[in-house]
Amino acid sequence: MSRMNSTYADQLLTLGSATLGESGAAPLNPRIRAVWHGAAVAAPAFTVACAPGDNLAIHAGVARAPRGHALVVALEDATERGYWGEVLTTAAEAAGITALVIDGTVRDVAALERHHFPVFARGIALRGASKGGPGSTGGAIVIGDHTVNTGDWIVADADGIVVITADTLDATLATGLERAAKEEHFFEELRAGQTTVALLSLDVTSISTH
């Protein structure tokens, strides 16, 4: 990962998906979530599209993705197969791939955690995938009900996953930093005895008291 991308990644990870999701980033469907506790990543995406029950395109993606990118994988249906496991994780680490986000199922979860390789998936399944294709890499895909292109940024953590288009990265980051600073001020006020009702100027007259 380039020095500039590393700086972006550090800032985006510090802000987190929840803050960025309120700052212009697009949240993916929450059916895709971390498969082990503590998984987190911020990286540009390299996209992959797979045929049902087949992971040949993922193998191609690992071979083709630039270092420092996260594989973002779409499937044509919800066929429950182990599209990713320890073998692909080991190959991805050697290739400098930072994470996997897949709208499908994976396996070897204990091994993924031992590797500390961030994986975000729909679930876990034992059966292996076929390797006959077809599929594609590098094009526009729809994952988690949102379109992702290679070069867009993915930020994923315990709260969920957001995507930031390459042309809005700087603006989204700036908005996120402003929001985080505002929230830090809120925290100080709350610790000093203020209420969220006052700080957020909420009208609670419709809430009855018994």
List the beta bridge partners of residue 123.
105
Cα 58 to chain center, whole Å? 17
pLDDT of residue 76: 81
Domain residue extents for the chain: 3-172
Three-state SS at 147: strand
pLDDT in tens, 68-109: 999 999 998 877 999 999 999 999 999 999 999 999 999 999
Q: Which two tokens stand for residue 131?
A: 């390797």
Backbone φ and ψ for 162, nearest 5 degrees, come out as -125, 155
Write out pLDDT tens, residues 20-32. 999 999 999 999 9
Confidence of residue 2 (pLDDT cuts 50, 70, 90): low
- Counting every residue, how long is the chain? 210
Q: Which of helix, strand or coil describes residue 50?
A: strand
pLDDT band at 210 (very low <50, low <70, confident <90, very high): confident
Q: Which residues contact 138 (CB under 8 A, 6 or more apart)?
A: 46, 47, 64, 150
pTM of the shown model: 0.92
Cα separation, 104 vs 121, whole angstroms: 6
The neighbouring-strand residues paired with 73 are: 48, 102
Residue 4 in this model has a pLDDT that exceeds 90: no
The pLDDT tens digits for 98-141 are 999 999 999 999 999 999 999 999 999 999 999 999 999 999 99
Q: Which residue has the tokens 């990286």?
A: 43
pLDDT digits (tens, 9 = 90+) for 158-191: 999 999 999 999 999 999 999 999 989 989 999 9
Q: Can you tell me the distance from the alpha carbon of 65 to that of 137, in angstroms, rounded to the nearest whole number?
A: 9
- Cite the DSSP H helix spans in the chain: 3-21, 56-64, 86-94, 109-115, 169-191, 196-199
Which numeric CATH code is attached to 3-172? 3.50.30.40
Whether the upstream peptide bond of residue 44 has omega within 30° of 0, thus cis, is no
